[in-house]
A and B are shown apart, each in its own frame.
Chain A
Amino acid sequence: MRTAVPKMGLLDTAAKERIHEASLSILEETGIQIDSQKVAITLQEHDIRCEVTGKQGDRTLWRVKFDRDTIMKSLKTAPKTITLGGRDTKHDLYLDGKGSPDSVYFGTLGSAPVVHDIETGERRLGTLKDLAQFARLTQQLEQLDFFHVSVMPSDVPNSVVELYRWKATFENTAKHSITAASYDAKNLPYLLEMAAVVQGGEDELRRRPIFTATECPIAPLFFAERSAENMVELARAGLPVIIYSEPFAGASSPVTLAGTILVTNAEQLAGIALTQIANPGAPVIYGGVSTTMDIRTGNISFGSPETGLLNVATTEMARFYEMPKEGSGGRTDSKLLDCQAGFEKQGNLLLAVLAGANLNNCAGTLESNYAVSLAQLVIDDDIVKRTKRMLAGIALDEETLAVDLIKEIGPGGQYLGNQHTLTHMRQELCLSDLCSKGTYEDWVKKGSLSLEQMAQKKALELLNFSEPASLEPAAVKELEKILKSAEKMHGIG
């Protein structure tokens, strides 16, 4: 069957080559800054030019310059397809750097400090319990493929917060999980140990990694100590890393979109080189999540139309290198579940997937990712459902064209009870679980519920009445033991 699939592109080959060449010249002449002695020494061992440029507090600043050959070699060894594991194979994700339509996935986003409470409506600091609920609901929502850890809990010790987050995540969802690996390099080995327990050993963890680490450069062109060291350590362990470049146009990159794409791409190439120098062939994902600054307030603006365009262009650059891509999908700057949230999310998500980004993180967020909401998560699941339908395009063959049927029914007839309708309606038409579709009277009869109320209802039903995908008790015990020993190292408890 032929399928007409919608696609979107902004850059022609000449434009992509120009951005690529400009990135190489930035990396060769200006370079990037890192403040890790350890990583600088590793790079020097591979004949990469590293010079001390100064000190900031007690940190030594290194300037690292990559030549063309190093970058080109890294692009060659970086894998073009990557498998990300779920707890079971049913939840595995297959990322294809060429961007085939069946390699486009959707998930949550967050690390948000604030939660909009689904029962009281209160806007308050997030807790570990909230995180567990977001993981559980993501597990239940059929359209979502991965869990980008939604909440930054405020009720656990700061020095091991990442381990609490990973533990709650592994225990409450069987889907692949993504977030910063660790905020303290000393905690990374404990995470690796936990992840190996969940997947049944280190080999299986490498084959089907249950988590992907996001490591954020600080735009422009700066890899802080912990990020640089985590990238190298994870690459050596053979575990996937997303180079999470998030420059915002006008503040940490040029206000022009082209200049922002260039900063993003240069950071990506530097990050890819770091991982490939540490371990050629280590899985690394192009993570362009560039956005814009709102010049009136200075806030980051994820919902801007330019963010959608940046998402398309950075995805095209990833495709240029045939590398899997994570993009920012549909995000919003709105403070509530309103029309602004709806159009910002749908508009930008549609652009991202039409360009073919593999991992689209977005669901559940509000307030420029500062807050998350379980009701918004359910609404976003519905937005993803619509988007997947659009992405599937139009099936075109004799059967779907239905020439004979149209002739047979003729003018003035109807298709309502026809076998052709019965055969095709379920896969042809996408049905929303939330949107109001019937008549006004129908809607009143069902309680005159707003979209938000419908979403709240569905979220609570899913949380209260569905079987959670809990981790088996023996594994939970193991995770607890690992967390305890990490706390002991930090002198807690």
Chain B
Amino acid sequence: MVTEAQEHGLQEKAKESIITLNKAAAIQIAEQASSEMSASELVDLIEGGFKAGLMVVGDRFGKGDMFLPELVAAAETMKSSLAILEIKLRESDVTQEPLGKIVIATVKGDLHDIGKTMVSSLLMANGFEVIDLGIDVATLNIIETARKNKADMICLSALLTTTIGAQKEVIDALQEMGRREDFKVMIGGAASSKNWAEEIGADAYGADAQEAAEIALDLSTK
């Protein structure tokens, strides 16, 4: 347990470590908090500190004051501190309430990583918990991960016109399993489009990372 002033001080430091992209400081704060704070205080530290910091970065990125590489670095910094805090949180019965859980992947047959990483970072910056499955991810793997983690949304990236078919495959498979209503599905990537999203029955199409985050926020409140 810590005093309220100490708790507030650490939250500010955590926020600052994300805004200044100081990974070493973020990790050190997470380690200190893990040994000194109760589980519910840790949740407050995540919300009021690390995530609040990432939201500032996301906001500055939106205004053009910070750039994409900085946003990605901030998300990475937050991820490494959360990894430390989650070890302790898992031992307790305190649960975090993210804005929503999102599973994101580049679809089967497509090996392009960068666009998806951008979306992933910006979703995190907007308060979502993001499970990033990487590239060339098989349809069933995506669905299984979303199901197991009780995700709210699935985001599917495809850069190539030859691989956007796999976006449809995920939606068709959800349909067949009778699970289409369990998840919102958003698609993106150079080869996909608003028309394609409508054609395959996706809930949304995000033209770029910024738009994807805005749509995710919009969908999560519906």
Binding site for B on A (CB under 8 A): 56-59, 113-114, 125, 152, 154, 158, 161, 183-184, 218, 222, 224, 250-252, 255, 293, 295-299, 370
Contact = CB atoms under 8 A, between A and B. Distances in A.
Given A125-B195, A255-B69, A297-B208, A113 B161 contact: yes
B48 interface: no
Nearest to A59: B136
B162 interface: yes
B162 A56 contact: no
A contact patch SS: loop
Given A158-B162, A218-B111, A295 B136 contact: no
A370 B191 CA distance: 9
Contacts of B108: 57
A38 B201 CA distance: 38
A218 B106 CA distance: 14
Interface stretch (B3-11, B35-43, B112-120): B112-120
Contacts of B136: 56-57, 59
A385 B174 CA distance: 54
25 contacts: A56-B135, A57-B136, A58-B138, A59-B136, A113-B190, A113-B193, A114-B193, A152-B161, A158-B161, A158-B165, A161-B162, A183-B160, A218-B111, A218-B112, A222-B111, A293-B68, A295-B68, A296-B67, A296-B68, A297-B68, A297-B208, A298-B68, A298-B114, A298-B118, A299-B208
Interface string B182-218: 0000000011010100000000000011100000000
Contacts of A154: 161
Interface in B59-86: 64, 67-69
Given A57-B108, A57-B136, A297-B208, A161 B161 contact: yes
A204 B158 CA distance: 39
B89 interface: no
Contact of A125 (B67, B114, B193): B193
B25 interface: no
B67, B161, B190 — which one has the most chain A CB atoms within 10 A of its CB? B161
A11 to B, nearest CB: 26
Contacts of A297: 68, 208, 210
Interface in B141-199: 141, 160-162, 165, 190-191, 193, 195
Interface string B38-55: 000000000000000000
Contacts of A57: 108, 136-138, 141
B114 to A, nearest CB: 5
Contact of A113 (B68, B112, B191): B191
B111 A296 contact: no
Nearest to B119: A298
A125 B112 CA distance: 22
Nearest to B195: A125
B36 to A, nearest CB: 38
Most interface-central of B68, B112, B165 (chain A CB within 10 A): B68
Contacts of A114: 193
Nearest to A369: B190
Contacts of B161: 113, 152, 154, 158, 161
Contacts of A295: 67-69
Contacts of B134: 56
A224 B111 CA distance: 8
Contacts of A222: 111
A370 B208 CA distance: 14
B52 to A, nearest CB: 23
Contacts of A370: 190
A187 to B, nearest CB: 11
Nearest to A219: B114
Contacts of A59: 136
- Most chain A Cβ neighbours within 10 Å, of B64, B111, B135, B141: B111
Given A222-B111, A297-B68, 13 more contacts: A57-B136, A58-B138, A125-B193, A152-B161, A161-B161, A293-B68, A295-B68, A296-B67, A296-B68, A297-B208, A298-B115, A298-B208, A299-B208
A58 B114 CA distance: 21
Per CB-CB distance, the 9 closest pairs between chain A and chain B, nearest first, are: A295-B67, A183-B162, A298-B118, A298-B68, A152-B161, A251-B114, A57-B136, A295-B68, A218-B111
A313 B111 CA distance: 28
Contact of B209 (A125, A152, A293, A298): A298
B165 to A, nearest CB: 6
Contacts of A125: 193, 195
Nearest to B64: A296
Contacts of B195: 125
A116 to B, nearest CB: 15
A476 B141 CA distance: 44
Contact of B69 (A113, A161, A250): A250
Interface in B105-135: 108, 111-112, 114-115, 118, 134-135
A196 to B, nearest CB: 25
A281 to B, nearest CB: 31
A56 B112 CA distance: 13
Contacts of A251: 114
A183 B208 CA distance: 25
A114 B195 CA distance: 12
A395 B67 CA distance: 49
A158 B67 CA distance: 36
Contacts of A158: 161-162, 165
Contacts of A56: 134-136
Contacts of A184: 162
Contacts of B209: 298
A291 to B, nearest CB: 13
A227 to B, nearest CB: 10
Nearest to A255: B69
Contacts of B111: 218, 222, 224
A184 B163 CA distance: 11
A158 B137 CA distance: 20
Contacts of B165: 158
Contacts of A183: 160, 162
Contacts of A252: 114
B97 to A, nearest CB: 29
Contacts of B118: 298
